[in-house]
């Protein structure tokens, strides 16, 4: 099942491949800054009937050295079918593009990270036909970012760090550093990275902590219920509420103080929109608050 953490943990690699720096360093390869990195189609489907899709596929062509493919998979828990899927991805991409394939898995749980490292073997008796060994980015090899200046310089790495360490006892300090480091960003950039972090933290307790640290307004991941989105919708609801009162005023419908307070205090955009529709026909303000369609007979 695709989750918020899953979405962010691969999308960030598509838009900011520089977060692969720890992988390049561990493998002794030139960092991404010296390589041309292009996102490829993640579709690994043969003609029919089974569809398979890798989270993110990047082609890396270093300035000096041979090119290769990086396939990124976000994994929040153990999955019994992954070892077969991963083996397929590697074999398919190798055959399709004709260059070696590095499989990278991103995990926020140490137990999941330990499992994801494999190796996963296709074995008959004593003979291994194929061995899949993912490179894991998890709590043990992604640094905990506690330096505000590093957040400003490498926001993508800081974001991945917060997501990967979301179950750590130090996550509060990590998020606090992240929030303070983002003060150096302009509003649009801060909004962008704040929402990446919030969506990536998904249903963890750390998400509530992060919501308390956000101060900007805006949205980047529609429909995820982030603080930015909630703030935006609340603003829209206030505008609609003023519209309700204006319609009632023009029509000469009296509005009590209690009704005015209820209308202006509502932050449910759908409900206020319904009141705005009703405001053009109701005879009494209290009729706005009745359930079901109005009887216009």
pTM of structure? 0.63
Place of tokens 């390869």: 29
Say whether both 78 and 183 belong to one domain: no
Three state DSSP letters for 46-99: CCCCCCCECCEEEEEEECCCCCEEEEEEECCCCCCCHHHHHHHHHHHHHHHHCC
Same structural domain for residues 133 and 164?
A: no
Residues 88, 39: Cα–Cα separation, whole Å: 19
Distance from C-alpha of 241 to C-alpha of 265, rounded to nearest angstrom: 8
Asked if residue 157 and residue 33 are part of one domain, the reply reads no
Q: Is residue 48 domain-shared with residue 161, that is, in the same domain?
A: no
Is residue 112 located within the same domain as residue 54? yes
Nearest in space to 86 (alpha carbons), one of 98, 75, 99:
75
Picking from 74, 107, 137, the residue at the C-terminal end of a domain is 137
- Residue range of the domain that includes 211: 148-217
Residue 211 and residue 275 in one domain: no
Nearest to 5 by CA among 109, 118, 143, 146: 109
pLDDT the model gives residue 65:
77
- Does residue 24 share a domain with residue 121? yes
Residue 227 pLDDT grade (very low, low, confident, very high; cuts 50, 70, 90): low
Position 216 scores a pLDDT of 41
48 lies in some domain: yes
User: Is the pLDDT at 90 greater than 90, yes or no?
Assistant: yes
Number of structural domains (the chain) is 3
- The separation between CA 43 and the C-alpha centre of its own chain, rounded to angstroms, equals 20
DSSP per-residue string spanning 205-256: HHHHHHHHH------SSTTS--HHHHHHHHHHHHHHHHHHHHHHHHHT----
Encoded tokens for 287: 């009729």
Q: Is residue 37 in some structural domain?
A: yes
**Domain contains 94:** yes
């Amino acid at each position: 099942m695709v989750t918020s953490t899953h979405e962010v943990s691969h999308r960030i690699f598509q838009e900011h491949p520089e977060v692969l720096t720890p992988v390049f360093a561990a493998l002794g390869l030139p960092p991404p800054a010296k390589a041309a990195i292009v996102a490829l189609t993640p579709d690994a489907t043969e003609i029919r009937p089974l569809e398979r899709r890798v989270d993110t596929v990047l082609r890396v062509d270093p300035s000096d050295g041979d090119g290769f493919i990086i396939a990124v998979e976000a994994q929040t828990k153990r999955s019994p079918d992954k070892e077969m899927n991963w083996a397929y991805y590697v074999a398919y991409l190798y055959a399709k593009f004709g260059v070696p394939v590095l499989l990278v898995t991103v995990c926020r749980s140490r137990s999941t990270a330990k499992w994801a490292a494999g190796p996963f073997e296709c074995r008959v008796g004593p003979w291994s036909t194929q061995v899949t060994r993912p490179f894991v980015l998890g709590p043990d090899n992604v640094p905990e970012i506690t330096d505000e200046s590093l957040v400003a310089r490498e926001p993508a790495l800081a974001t991945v760090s917060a997501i990967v360490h979301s179950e750590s006892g130090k996550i509060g300090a990590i998020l606090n550093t992240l929030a303070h480091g983002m003060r150096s960003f302009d509003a649009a950039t801060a909004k962008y990275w704040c929402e990446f972090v919030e969506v990536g933290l998904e249903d963890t307790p750390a998400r509530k902590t992060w919501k308390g640290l956000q101060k900007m307004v805006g949205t980047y991941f529609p429909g995820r219920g982030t603080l930015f989105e909630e703030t935006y919708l609340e603003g829209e609801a206030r505008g609609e509420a003023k519209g309700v009162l204006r319609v009632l005023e023009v029509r000469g419908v009296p509005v009590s103080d209690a009704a005015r307070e209820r209308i202006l205090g509502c932050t449910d955009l759908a409900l206020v929109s319904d009141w705005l529709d009703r405001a053009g026909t109701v005879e009494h303000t209290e009729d706005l608050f009745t359930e079901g369609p109005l009887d216009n007979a």
